[in-house]
A and B are shown apart, each in its own frame.
Chain A
Amino acid sequence: MADLTLPAELATPDWLAPTPNAAQTPLPEALHRALNSAAHRERWKYTKAEVFLGATHTAANLPQISGEQQPGIDLQQTTKPVPLVGFDLDQAPEAFARLCYASNILTIDISAPTTEILTLVHASSTVPVLIRVAEGASLTLNEISDCDSDAQQTIWIDLAANAEMKHSRNALDTAGAHWQYLNVRLQRDASYRLHNHVTGCASRRQDIHVLMDGQGAEANLISAGSVEGKTALDQQFTLEHRQPRGRSQQTIHNIVANGGKCSFNGRIHIHAGAAGTDAQLANRNLGMGEHATINTKPELEIYTDDVSCAHGATVGTISQEALFYLLSRGIDQGAAQALLSQGFLRQCIDGPLAESALETLIGGASVGL
């Protein structure tokens, strides 16, 4: 296998100095090593990394932004130092490279509890975004991908103590090779909730890396995906508990039908000292029609006692018991299957972007019922 290489020469930005791992080795070398590690190969087992890596240096626009004109929000396009505490080069070398290639990034600082929704719409590759929510502040973020060709979006979110964020994300477009990287760091008692609604596209890749970096932090990731026809979705979720008494819950439901290809990897890493952690993950996959390909892998690394951790991955078809229940009430085979598959996804559709997600993923919300 040929080595993965960076697509262009890369200079170390000044602001990288405080980042661990980057200091000892020259950056291009450190990235090269990370890109060709066994762990990296495993993360890109089902999606060709070359395509995504090769586009990390291409030009990026600002996302379309609305809701930023309210007290407590400060937007900056900046090249100044932005230390990313806890961000691990080995974990995400592509994201690191993209950050280094970017001529500027967008920082969004939230200094107070906000009331209106901040919306980011990506119509193409967008500049790296860093959202910092200050202690006790809160934000509701809607993020919509509306791309029709190759695109990359990278977002870092840093939640200070007691900060709160509700993040809804719809990636329901027909992008080409689409990569979304999301890194969330939670400090003490911070809370983060993600409603992720997604379809397959030519090749869609979602990396989510959540760092529980303060005591009592709480993260909730809920995702509904539909991968139909000749489309692909590859989701790689990593949740690290680094501090005691964190709670995390991940629920990911995907329907894969008629030639769709869906991969999910859910890694939970509970570090030494993260006592009292409660980490739950459930990935359920429903295969329908002909030739659905589903890869799901749970990964658990636990280095402390006194944790409660449940990790389940299932691949199945529609429950015959449930199907018969509907049939016995006069609902025909096709309608009953549709109701059941819709119900399977609806369990994971919520939040302010739910309506359009329902429309795209299950063809309507059956309003009022």
Chain B
Amino acid sequence: MSLLNVSDLHASVITDDQTQPILKGLNLTVEAGEVHAIMGPNGSGKSTLANVVSGRPGYQVDNGAATLEGSPLLELEPYERAQLGVFLAFQYPVEIPGVSNMEFLKASIDSLARARGEEQPNTAQFMRQVRELASSLDLDPAFLKRGVNEGFSGGEKKRNEIMQLLLLDPKLAVLDETDSGLDIDALKVVAEGVNRYRSASNGVVLITHYQRLLDYIVPDFVHVLSNGQIIESGDKSLALELEAKGYAWLT
């Protein structure tokens, strides 16, 4: 059974008074242990795919299905998908003043443990683990007492997403342009974190504009998304070809 299976997915974005179709019959299969890079021009539907899989409000599924290890995802509430093992690394992580990072992470890890019938981790141990993870991603552990993402630079917000990825250890990680706005040093830290997360039992969908990230996170497959469908798939050499030629030769 595939880790993620998306079949014939049609989805629209809901704006004030209308719906606009974005995904128009998308198929994607991710097996455990694989990293799939999704590339494509602006407006092709990359972020919509991430948002529909994770359940962000404002989208409507018109047709098709998505399953995680065979369990249908699209009917579930966002928190239920997360409890099943879906993780979205946000393109624009949200600032939440008044809720400390530590409190947020504890609430998350406790919810996941409860949903899976596992024991909630001991608080002291948990806090030590989080501090170590933060340090390993060049995040000052002092930030853990501050509000979620409050006053973080763009790079710090992205590293915080990766820290959550490592802490929550989901089955499927969907990274939505995690490389955007990062300088080369931050990019390496993020990539190193993703590589640390990779294992034979989980999968990664890596949405990116640029080939650069793929120098550090080497994908097993590269897909080109255009006008709501995957129009080309290949190995990592496809990304290099796209870098050289742009998207025009495909579309």
Interface residues of A in 125-160 (CB under 8 A from B): none
Which residues of the other chain, B, contact A327 by a CB distance below 8 angstroms? 55, 77-79, 82
Closest B residue to A321 using CB positions: B94
B111 touches A335 (CB 8 A): yes
Partner of A328 from the list B88, B106, B115 (CB cut-off 8 Å) is B88
B96 touches A340 (CB 8 A): yes
Which residues of the other chain, B, contact A274 by a CB distance below 8 angstroms? none
A332 within 8 A of B: yes
Cα distance A347–B147 in the bound complex, in angstroms? 9
One of B40-48, B97-105, B209-217, B241-249 at the interface: B97-105
Which residues of the other chain, A, contact B98 by a CB distance below 8 angstroms? 342-347
Which residues of the other chain, A, contact B82 by a CB distance below 8 angstroms? 327-330
Cα distance A340–B147 in the bound complex, in angstroms? 11
B104 touches A329 (CB 8 A): yes
A339 touches B107 (CB 8 A): yes
Give the interface centre of A322, A327, A328, A335 by most chain B CB atoms within 10 Å: A328
A366 touches B96 (CB 8 A): no
A24 within 8 A of B: no
A30 within 8 A of B: no
Closest A residue to B126 using CB positions: A369
Closest B residue to A368 using CB positions: B123
Closest A residue to B168 using CB positions: A329
Given contacts A327-B82, A366-B103, contact A332 B111 (CB under 8 A): yes
Given contacts A321-B94, A327-B82, A328-B88, contact A342 B99 (CB under 8 A): yes
Closest A residue to B88 using CB positions: A328
Nearest Cβ on chain B to A172's Cβ, whole angstroms: 19
Q: Mark A348-369, 1 if CB is under 8 A from B, else 0.
A: 0000000000000000001011
Which residues of the other chain, B, contact A15 by a CB distance below 8 angstroms? none
Cα distance A321–B168 in the bound complex, in angstroms? 20
- With A333-B79, A346-B98 known, 4 other A-B pairs at CB within 8 A are A328-B79, A330-B108, A346-B99, A368-B123
User: A residues touching B (Cβ–Cβ < 8 Å)?
Assistant: 319-322, 324-333, 335-336, 339-340, 342-347, 366, 368-369
Question: 6 A-B contacts, Cβ less than 8 Å apart?
Answer: A326-B107, A327-B79, A328-B56, A330-B168, A333-B79, A342-B99
